[in-house]
Amino acid sequence: MRFGLRDYREINLAVVHRSAVTKTLAAPADVLLAVEVMSPGSVSNNRVTKPAQHARAGIPVLLAARAPGGAHAPHVRT
């Protein structure tokens, strides 16, 4: 997803408007739902940095999930 000329993120999973399906990089306005899968080294980035960036861009829902000890623990920001 492209936030600016040199600012983009690779989202693990995104639900986008139909018109954005053929785009290489979706614009934030195209994204209805973004899902990030957290690794141990990306937890603060996925819980602090990315939610703020996604909220500023107007993305309505960001779901960040991690699997500590094999159990799924979703973290939802709307």
Q: Which residue ranges make up each domain of the chain?
A: 2-77
Q: What is the pLDDT of residue 76?
A: 59
Q: What is the pLDDT of residue 27?
A: 86
Q: What is the pLDDT of residues 11-41, one digit of tens each?
A: 888 899 998 888 877 888 999 999 888 877 7
What proportion of the chain, given as a percentage, has pLDDT over 90? 13
Residue 63 sits at φ, ψ, to 5 deg, of -110, 120
Kindly list the distances between the CA atom of residue 17 and the CA atoms of 34, 42, 56, in Å, as whole numbers in the listed order. Answer: 12, 27, 19
Question: Given a cut of 80, is residue 50 above it in pLDDT?
Answer: yes
